[in-house]
Amino acid sequence: MRAEAARQGWRQQDLAGLLGVTQGSISCRLSGQTPFTADELAILAEAFGVPVSLLYEPVADSTVIRGGAR
């Protein structure tokens, strides 16, 4: 997501305006602190002219370990 926005010259303020959120909210999303919603990814993909799949970051390990599980 960050790479595609940079490649196309979009600033955090631009992304915030498009999604109707604050620049701080975009910063949290780009840093991974807060995930983008599916709707937000769809809006951004359309604005960038790319498939939504291009905006997903690879996940190193999707294993979830719950407390007490062995």
**Assigned fold of 2-55:** 434 Repressor (Amino-terminal Domain) (1.10.260)
pTM, two decimal places: 0.76
Task: Classify the phi-psi angles of 16: left when phi > 0, otherwise alpha if psi is within -120 to 50, otherwise beta.
Answer: alpha
Task: Give 27-63 pLDDT, tens digit per residue.
Answer: 999 998 999 999 999 999 999 999 999 887 665 655 5
What is the model's pLDDT at position 67? 57
70 band by pLDDT with thresholds 50, 70 and 90 = very low
- Counting Cα atoms < 13 Å in the Cβ hemisphere of 56 gives 9
What is the model's pLDDT at position 69? 46
Residue in the block written with tokens 């910063």: 27
What is the model's pLDDT at position 55? 87
